[in-house]
Amino acid sequence: MNRPMPNAAFYIMSSLMRCRDLIRPRNSILEEVNIRPGNHVLDFGCGHGSYTFIASESVGDEGKVYAQDVVRLALDMIEKKALKLKLDNISTICSDSSTGIPNESIDVILCYDVFHLLGDPGAVLEELRRVLRPDGVMSFSDHHMSGRDILSGVTEGGMFSPSEKRKYTYLFRKC
């Protein structure tokens, strides 16, 4: 992501995403990934947390969800809601690519509707590959891109290979 969006724009986008979530709940999308109790999940470009809180429930007390975004306001909203819901398994990361997460410690990466915004997708993919476990999976969707562009954009650097196309998402494994 090149730079954070202004707060007013984020509030508008967040409101639109909440409406979207009412029409098509995010659960059906995350079911394609099979997040299990104890998993460690990175929600890259988490926005206001549509997927973060569902993933938090799925990983349970033994798991961890890292919510990463370049918009500090988004992370403040997630932190506030996590505190209110007493969810100790959510941590936020304010960054456009670097996560600070240890090597090969993530079971599932969620990369939804953010790839088209990236200023340096290669650097982001390097970081995502670094933190993903050898048997981990990256779940990817971006409705701003064609299937062909998704496949070439994620695989062209040789860091990821396509694993499976599901109804809503593409699954990738690290090479």
* pLDDT of res. 69: 95
Average pLDDT of the chain?
91
pLDDT at 10 over 90: no
Give the DSSP H or E segment for 92.
strand 90-94
- Local confidence band at 175 (pLDDT 50, 70, 90 cut-offs): very high
Averaged over 86-114, what is the pLDDT? 96
pTM of the shown model = 0.89
Structure tokens at 34: 């099979």
170-174 and 106-112 beta bridge pairing: unpaired
pLDDT at 41 over 70: yes
Q: Domains plus CATH for the chain? A: 7-174 (3.40.50.150)
The type of residue at 51 is: Y
DSSP for 138-167 reads: EEEE-TTS-HHHHHHHHHTTSSEEEEEE-S
- Local confidence band at 112 (pLDDT 50, 70, 90 cut-offs): very high
